[in-house]
């Protein structure tokens, strides 16, 4: 980082910009810092950090910094008449900067059975649910990632009140190609179309007649042709029998009359 004397005086200041500033003056409220800006830069005591005891609240600024010291500061906010500074390194990603649809890079910090936590540089890590790790079925997150892996994720949802970030890895992956049968359009009602079954009708095969069958058919044909002749013979026989009976009856009556 450039020193205060090397930095441009017309630099457009933005939040999170880092500077090596020189302490010009201290007071009960804070310190005036030279960052080579046209606006005065002020470091409030609440933003002073003790390098040796970072968790402690600083009550006396002179115990931490003195006039003439060079300290590392970041721009917290730019106002019309001055610049607010901080010694606390700002988050790489502020809640106001996170929006659904953003694509971010992070590092896997923790694994649970329900998903993987990814450190994004925000106040809290985001969660990639196990169902959002891959398009394929995943039983445990360890099957896909491990702690320390650098991954690319997409922001699905953000709950600022609960400080929760829902992430997805599969949203950035290509969907696997479906099988040809799965791509067929379904009928109305969502039911898949039934496969058409081809019905093959076999033609009846008639075997050639044997010698015995031919002889039997010929005998039946001849019998059918002789049928009228047989009927004529029966009629003639019946007629002759009738005449014989008639002669017999006349003879008997003539004999009786003579007696």
- Spatial CA neighbour of 153 closest among 180, 125, 175: 125
18-86 in CATH: which number? Answer: 2.40.50.140
Q: Using CA atoms, how far apart are residues 140 and 132, in angstroms rounded to an integer?
A: 12
Burial, 124: exposed, middle or buried (Cβ in 10 Å; 0-12, 13-18, 19+)?
middle
- Residue ranges of domains in the chain: 18-86, 95-172
User: Over pLDDT 90: what percentage of the chain?
Assistant: 48
Q: Using CA atoms, how far apart are residues 30 and 82, in angstroms rounded to an integer?
A: 14
User: Does residue 214 surpass a pLDDT of 80?
Assistant: no
User: Does residue 2 surpass a pLDDT of 50?
Assistant: no
Whether the CB-CB separation of 111 and 145 falls below 8 Å is answered with: yes
Per-residue CA distances from 72 to 17, 51, 69, 150, 196 (Å): 11, 11, 10, 28, 76
95-172 in CATH: which number? Answer: 2.40.50.140
* Same-fold call for 18-86 versus 95-172: yes
The predicted-structure confidence for 84-126, as pLDDT tens digits, reads as follows: 999 998 988 888 889 999 999 999 999 999 999 999 999 899 9
User: Does residue 77 surpass a pLDDT of 50?
Assistant: yes
Among the residues of the chain, which ranges form H helices? 211-258
Tokens 């039997």 map to which residue?
A: 216
Highest mean pLDDT among 143-152, 184-193, 211-220: 143-152
Q: Using CA atoms, how far apart are residues 171 and 28, in angstroms rounded to an integer?
A: 52
């Amino acid at each position: 980082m450039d020193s205060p004397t090397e930095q441009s005086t017309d630099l457009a200041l933005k939040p999170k910009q880092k500077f090596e500033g020189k302490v010009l003056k201290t007071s009960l409220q804070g310190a005036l810092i030279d960052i080579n800006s046209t606006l005065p830069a002020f470091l409030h005591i609440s933003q002073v950090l003790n390098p040796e005891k970072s968790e402690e609240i600083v009550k006396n600024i002179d115990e931490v910094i003195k006039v003439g010291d060079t300290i590392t500061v970041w721009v917290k906010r730019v106002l019309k008449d001055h610049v607010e500074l901080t010694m606390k390194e700002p988050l790489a990603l502020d809640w106001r900067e996170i929006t659904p649809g953003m694509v971010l890079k992070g590092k896997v910090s923790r694994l649970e059975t329900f998903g993987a936590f990814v450190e994004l540089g925000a106040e809290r890590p985001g969660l990639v649910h196990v169902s959002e790790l891959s398009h394929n079925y995943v039983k445990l997150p360890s099957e896909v990632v491990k702690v320390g892996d650098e991954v690319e994720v997409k922001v699905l949802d953000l709950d600022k009140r609960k400080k929760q970030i829902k992430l997805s890895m599969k949203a950035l992956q290509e969907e696997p190609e479906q099988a040809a049968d799965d791509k067929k359009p379904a009928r109305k009602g969502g039911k898949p179309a039934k496969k058409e079954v081809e019905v093959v009708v076999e033609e009846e095969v008639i075997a050639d007649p044997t010698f015995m069958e031919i002889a039997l058919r010929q005998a039946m044909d001849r019998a059918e042709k002789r049928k009228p002749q047989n009927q004529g013979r029966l009629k003639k026989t019946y007629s002759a029998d009738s005449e014989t009976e008639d002669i017999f009856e006349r003879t008997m009556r003539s004999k009786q009359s003579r007696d």
